[in-house]
Amino acid sequence: MCGIIAYLGEDSAAPILLEGLKRLEYRGYDSAGILTVNDESQFELKKDVGKVLEIHEKLNFLDLNGTAGIAHTRWATHGGVTQANAHPHLSNNGRIAVIHNGIIENYKELRSKLTSQGFVFSSETDTEVVPNLIEYWMRIKGLDLVEAVLNTFQSLEGNFAIVLIDRDSKTIIGAKNGSPLVLGVGSNGKNEYFLASDIPAFLDRTKDVVYLYDGDMVVLRCDSHSRSKKSSSYQIYNFRDGRKIVTRPVQSVSWDMEHAAKGEFDHFMLKEITEQVETIQKAGAQDRETIEDIARRIKEAKGVFLIGCGSSFHACLSVSYLFSKLAAFHINTVLASEFSAYEHFLKKDTLVIAVSQSGETIDILDAVRTAKQKGCQVISIVNVMGSSLTQMSDKTLFLNVGPEISVLSTKTYTAQLVVLTLLAYALAGNLDEGLQRVKYLWNIVYNLTAASTRARIRALADRLSKSEHIFVIGRGSLYATALEAALKIKEVSYIHAEAFAGGELKHGPISLIGKDTPCIVFVSKDTEKLILSNAMEVKSRGGYLIGIGPTPIESFDFFIKVPETGELNPVCDIIPIQILAYQLAVILGHDPDRPRNLAKSVTVR
């Protein structure tokens, strides 16, 4: 995944693009670049490897002139992390510049075709075929800019969001096909437009957005009536249908820059962990009729699948236990990347519930496409309005937690648990009880995220930071919590962490336990007897036990108290581990917002 932003307006583009890149850096931080068109209709370009501010300190992006430009921060897929592979990329004649997020699957064939026509390539990326294809259609085939771009987009295979700028006309064109791209429209009569991977990139300038659909191609034009007065306009085409113009509504987002800024916190991850005091309540504030309608659809379906990736899958797995316990209802929980193996079970009366933070992860979108091809009904639970997943779904529940900037899922994970839990309560006919129990969490979560709790967990992090391995065990829905805990620790601290169902330790993994090997144990009232038996197996082999639960146990070497909340234990029990993972990263000198090799949503297979 990469971050894209473009600007066309009356103000200097470089400062706007730089600020946008800083807000998009969670999407990729291998390299970055900014390109503008100056008043003489010449490109000015600066790009290099490294993080945005590191490159800015070296090259000074603010030296770039002009009121139109594009910018990109890269997470490497095709080609190594080099200056040549950094975006933007130019056509051979230097007229077209392109930035790109996603994968062009047929780039080798396109590159071979262009090479046979005399085109030369200077990078290893798949992106570079795009500006040269546009040049091919314009210079060799004689098409105008829009027709050349349409032909180019129609020839591309794969999921992508692409933005390009034409040097001569200062026209900016963007298109999306399975990767995120949103149009920002200047507010209060401001004559400016933005294209970006995510709304926070331009939220300080406007809250008015147009959610683009797959196949949409938006053309932003700058009309120069005089040297002192310019106007801009836009049109949206469907590039799959040629020059057919489509209309999309302008909508206003409800959150502001405060939600997308770190404020007093050192990192977004910590800010978003502490925000769970509010976001868990917001996730629970769902429309009652919608929850009950989805519960009815679940009950009437002939087979229900819960699908997700990473943390979202853990949320699905956790709540699958709850569907069984509360509603005596069986639900199939499948990794989205493995869902195609189940396609022979899918029928028209099958219901698929797709859970995702971004709504743009390629594995979840591929799984939903498989379901739609079989005629299944699809319900999505997602945080990002206008995302590709929402466009593909028959009905959507939004998490309502605002932007999550840190790569690691924290507040969206607990929000997913809350929404799914409410569905389980509704299916059991006890939605009121579920809503009441979610409200009860406020004070517990407040205490779990308080500075005093974070200081106590910091002491544990100091000890565990020297560990090579950390093991985590749980039973029932807390087995899924153990999986999520291990994922959080290894994602951001790079310490090997592994989770097991408590009963599985004796079937092999216990051979890994040695003197002082840390083992985190999730305890709840309904699993206490069995999980403590498993914990003692670790203790007797010299392991260091870290207990998380409602009551201190003598055998625990370190204990974190989390009040018993029954069916909502998974929501609260994960929060101390989110804090622990964050503090391990800080102690070890890692950036918790930008863990190595990871990106917020994975848009490549």
**Whole-angstrom distance, CA of residue 300 vs CA of residue 77:** 43
- Nearby residues of 452 by Cβ (< 8 Å), 6 or more positions away: none
Cα separation, 478 vs 569, in Å, equals: 8
CA-based R_g, the chain, Å: 25
Q: Are 438 and 284 in contact (CB under 8 A)?
A: yes
Catalytic residue among 2, 222, 316, 572, which? 2
d(CA 321, CA 527) in angstroms, rounded, equals: 13
Asked if residues 276 and 411 have their Cβ atoms less than 8 Å apart, the reply is yes
Q: Residue 496, by phi and psi: left (phi above 0), alpha (psi -120 to 50) or beta?
A: beta
Residue 312 CB-density burial (10 A; 0-12 exposed, 13-18 middle, 19+ buried): buried
Which of these, 456, 573, 485, 490, lies nearest to 524 by C-alpha position?
Answer: 573
CA distance 77 to 235: 31
* DSSP conformation class of 127: T
Q: Which residue in 207, 271, 539, 600 is the catalytic one?
A: 600
Determine how many CB atoms are found less than 10 A away from the CB of residue 420.
Answer: 25
Host H or E run for residue 2: none
H or E segment to which residue 587 belongs: helix 569-587
Amino acid occupying residue 221: R
* Active-site annotation holds for 411: no
- Report strand pairing: 544-549 vs 518-522: parallel
Q: Is 2 a catalytic residue?
A: yes
Can you tell me the distance from the alpha carbon of 124 to that of 200, in angstroms, rounded to the nearest whole number? 30
Catalytic positions, please?
2, 600
